[in-house]
Amino acid sequence: MPERVKKNIQCSIMLLLCIVLSGLDQLHAQTDSTNPVARSITADKLRMLVQTLSHDSMDGRLTGSEGAGKAAAFIHHYMEAVGLKPMEAFAGYYQLFSMEVNEKNVATYNVIGQLTGKVRPDSAIIFSAHFDHIGNNNYNGKKYRSRYSGRNSKIDQLFNGANDNASGVSAMLALADYYTHHAEPYYTLLFVAFSGEEQGLVGSEKLAAIMPTQHIVRLINLEMLGRPNKKGAFITYDRDNNDLQDILNKNLYNNSPAYGKRFFGLDTYSDQQLFMRSDNFPFARAGVKANTIMATSPQDQFYHHADDEWNTLNYEKMAEIVQAIALACQPIICPQ
């Protein structure tokens, strides 16, 4: 972790982490469910994670900012707390790099934790989500008064990015927690929080450029899961990356028929080119099977808006989607 942000955020991040993990322990103790995935991946857990990552103290998580550094530190400590290990190739849990943001060169980093595979540790499945957002109200020179903060409130200064993409990161961390306790993966699992997505998929480009992509079995990216459209979860795809929907639906139905045979739908927003707009794309260009799972329309009313706040998300539906992802992906990471 760079020294310029380490000292001034360590105490606050550890306090937040203690609060979140303490709350999650209480939730585990209170539930009567005998279903491990329902017990582990709950609406309350996801709410706590989203609230932390989209808190005003994160200042909109603009890449290279102190607020983004706080978010990265929280993600790192959460990964460590649930049992993920750092990759030997990087500086602890951080892949450091520099990039340009608003015509300034900034230092930033992807956050990466791993769960080593039992049979093929040299091959990896990646679960990813971007943790950056667009910062404060300088974005496009717009200023918004939040409809959730009262008629006489000041202009909302922050783009908190609860759905975009604190929801995806929270889902990724919940999956990491679940799999470290309920799976012995055949392949190594990498859990990656990308930086620089909003500036053009920079963090995923940096990682894809240095990884031996022939050893990546598949990448599953998580994006905007908190305000599902009417059809629920869908998968972005292109001609060479079009098999994930069938695989996940088959696995999910075999594991839990109550979800039905078509829980995961296909992207119906072809004019939006979603496959090329998220962090799956640099890996797909490198020949990796790589898709993004989404639930929110790209035309969502709060997309890149100051009202993308934690209290606008549907956590019950989000928990259903993340549980489904966990169950559907288990046969991929633990093949018979």
List b or e across 35-52, with b for residues whose CB sees 16 or more CB atoms inside 10 angstroms.
Answer: eebeebbbbbbbbbbbbb
User: Where exactly are the structural domains of the chain?
Assistant: 3-333
Tell me what pLDDT residue 83 has: 96
What percent of the residues of the chain are helix, what percent strand, and what percent coil, each to the nearest 5? 45, 20, 35
The CATH code for residues 3-333 is 3.40.630.10
Residue with token string 């797909």: 284
* Cα separations in angstroms, 199 against 2, 80, 99, 304: 21, 28, 9, 13
Tell me what pLDDT residue 16 has: 58
Residue 148 pLDDT > 60 = no
The string of pLDDT tens digits covering residues 228-286 is 987 789 999 999 999 999 999 999 999 999 999 999 998 999 899 999 999 999 999 99
Residue 140 pLDDT > 80 = no
Highest mean pLDDT among 6-15, 150-159, 232-241: 232-241
Weakest mean pLDDT among 141-150, 156-165, 275-284: 141-150
* Cα separations in angstroms, 210 against 84, 213, 222, 267: 21, 8, 22, 29
Tell me what pLDDT residue 136 has: 83
Q: Are 196 and 63 in contact (CB under 8 A)?
A: yes
> What average pLDDT does the chain have?
88
Compute the chain's Rg from CA coordinates: 19
Q: Using 50, 70 and 90 to split pLDDT, how confident is the model at 9? A: very low
Tell me what pLDDT residue 103 has: 87
Integer Cα distance of 265 and 193 in angstroms: 25
Tell me what pLDDT residue 91 has: 81
Tell me what pLDDT residue 151 has: 43
Q: Could you give the percent of the chain with pLDDT greater than 90?
A: 76
Integer Cα distance of 153 and 283 in angstroms: 44
Integer Cα distance of 246 and 290 in angstroms: 14
